Amino acid sequence: MLTFIKEVLFSALSMLNSASPWMVFSFAIAGALHDFVGADTLSRSSIGSTKITGLLLTTLTGMCIPICSCGTIPLGISMYFAGAYLGPTLTFMTSSPMINPIAIILAFGLLGPQIAIVYIITGFFGPMIIGLVANKFAGDELYYKPAYEAKPGGGIKLEMEKPPFLRRIVIGLRWSFSELSLTISKYTVSGMLIAGLLFTVIPQTAIQRYLGDPGLISLLGITIVAALMYVCAIGHIPFIAALVASGASPGVAITFLMAGCATNIAELLTISRTIGRRAVIMYSVMVIALSEIAGYVTNRIFPNFKPVLDYDSVTHSISTANAFIIEFPEWLQYTCSFVLIGYAAVALFRWVREKLGS
């Protein structure tokens, strides 16, 4: 039993290490912007509405930021708390981990121009569709109502005087590294523990045998595998390229990169707890459905696809991508992970105290 618990904790910590530096960095960015991008600002922009231009803006912004799905959680949730509508929020949280310039470079080099072009198209239109559905079918969670305080004449309650620039940054960082970090960390750490449990319970040999026979890999099967794995588009393009080169269909690559990169347990748990269950159901169902459709269409378009993986192409694309990839040292990964674990422990302590007090 003790060995089993150790394996679960080790697996969870390994996944948390890969995401924690980006999360702490995202906390800092969210805090610095918090007092400058509020409901008053967003209400005057398309992000604080159901306009399609808001979805377009957040999609393009997300496509330019090379961070994982866990790293987008603080930024996306802080956007929502600040007054962004649900559609643009989910659009950003989909596009950012799914596709970015580094991943595109690797896709062209390792998967070939055909799959890379499909990858770009799905990485753009997929988040847009998810945003449209969220804006259309959202209920009370369409926007975070406490961010919008009505004044007597209607509209948003604006402050008459704002603190100095540096003071506003300090106020935002204080909010981010107290309220936001406590909220996000408890769900992120919980999600990583659940993922670690799944990895430990499900034999890795079974997954390896499945992935070891690309001819048997189905679109639904790769979706399930991607959901169980902590997937980063940059790190897993070489992995999926090897599967395609071994005989897997090109649709497998698209489905894996869409479903795996845009979903993980920590992200889904956070969306459910901070925004609502309907939001996470719409998000997860749309990601899975769109990834299946995109994979099926890709297989139909390229029925006789031939892998283009070769040494020269691999060397060039990887060397180009490596010039942009940020690798965090191990000590920083562990430091950031234990910071998140500390926040989660404080949040748990407060929850227990409230329960005992009531």
Say what the pLDDT of residue 188 is: 86
Percent of the chain with pLDDT strictly greater than 70: 82
**284 CB-near residues (< 8 Å, 6+ apart):** 263, 268
Which pLDDT band holds residue 228 (cuts at 50, 70, 90)?
low
Evaluate if residue 311 carries a pLDDT over 60.
no
- What distance in Å separates the CA atoms of residue 189 and residue 320, rounded to the nearest whole number? 33
Evaluate if residue 234 carries a pLDDT over 70.
no
Evaluate if residue 324 carries a pLDDT over 60.
no
Indicate the range of 99-103, 147-151, 218-222, 282-286 predicted with least confidence.
147-151
154-187 pLDDT, tens digit per residue, is: 444 444 466 787 888 888 888 888 888 988 898 8
Evaluate if residue 194 carries a pLDDT over 70.
yes
CB atoms within 10 A of CB 79: 24
**Higher per-residue confidence, 213 vs 192:** 192
Extract the tokens encoding 240. 């999926």
259-302 pLDDT, tens digit per residue, is: 877 677 778 888 998 999 999 999 989 988 999 999 999 999 98
DSSP 47: G
Say what the pLDDT of residue 16 is: 86
- Supply the pTM of this predicted model: 0.83
CA dihedral of residues 338, 340, 345, 349 (deg, nearest 10): 150
3-state secondary structure of 255: helix
Could you state, in order of their start, the residue ranges of all structural domains in the chain? 2-357
**Higher per-residue confidence, 332 vs 35:** 332
Say what the pLDDT of residue 215 is: 61
What are the helix (H) ranges across the chain?
2-34, 39-42, 52-63, 69-82, 86-98, 101-110, 113-137, 165-175, 181-201, 204-211, 219-228, 233-246, 250-262, 265-274, 277-301, 311-322, 330-357
- What distance in Å separates the CA atoms of residue 75 and residue 118, rounded to the nearest whole number? 27
Phi, psi at residue 108, to the nearest 5°? -65, -40
Extract the tokens encoding 275. 């925004």
**Higher per-residue confidence, 110 vs 345:** 345
Say what the pLDDT of residue 212 is: 59
104-154 pLDDT, tens digit per residue, is: 888 888 888 899 999 999 999 999 999 999 999 998 999 988 887 654 444
Place of tokens 């283009």: 308
